[in-house]
């Protein structure tokens, strides 16, 4: 039982870490767009 829970939680932790890095990428791009808009004004 413990092994099964361990395996499933590890797998989902890996997927969520990847989702987090994607989110980070997105916020970085959003910030850069904001910055460019600021410069445009």
Partner 1 sequence: MKTTLNLEQEPFTKLKDSLVHRVLVWATIISILTSFYLIFIYAPLETTMREVQKIFYIHVSSAWVAFLAFFVVFVLSIMYLVTRKRIYDIYAGISAEIGVVFTTIVMTTGPIWARSSWNTWWAWEPRLTTSLILWFIYLAYIMIRQMDGAWDKKARLSAVFGIIGFIDVPIVFMAIRWWQSKFHPIVFGDGPSQKGGGVEPEMLVALITMTISFTLLYVVLLQKGVYLEKAKITVENWKEKLREKLVG
Question: Which residue is associated with the tokens 């410069």?
Answer: 39
Question: Which residue is associated with the tokens 């499933």?
Answer: 8
To partner 1, the closest distance from the beta carbon of 17 in angstroms equals 8
The yes or no reply on residue 3 touching partner 1 (CB under 8 A) is yes
State the CB neighbour count (10 A cutoff) for residue 32.
10
To partner 1, the closest distance from the beta carbon of 5 in angstroms equals 8
Q: How many C-alpha atoms does 16 have within 13 Å on its Cβ side? A: 6
Binding residues vs partner 1 (CB under 8 A): 1, 3-4, 6-8, 10-11, 14-15, 18, 22, 25-26, 29-30, 32-33, 36-37, 39-40
């Amino acid at each position: 039982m413990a092994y099964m829970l361990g395996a499933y939680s590890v797998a989902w932790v890996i997927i969520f870490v990847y989702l987090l890095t994607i989110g980070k990428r997105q916020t970085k791009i959003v910030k850069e767009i904001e910055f460019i808009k600021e410069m445009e004004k």
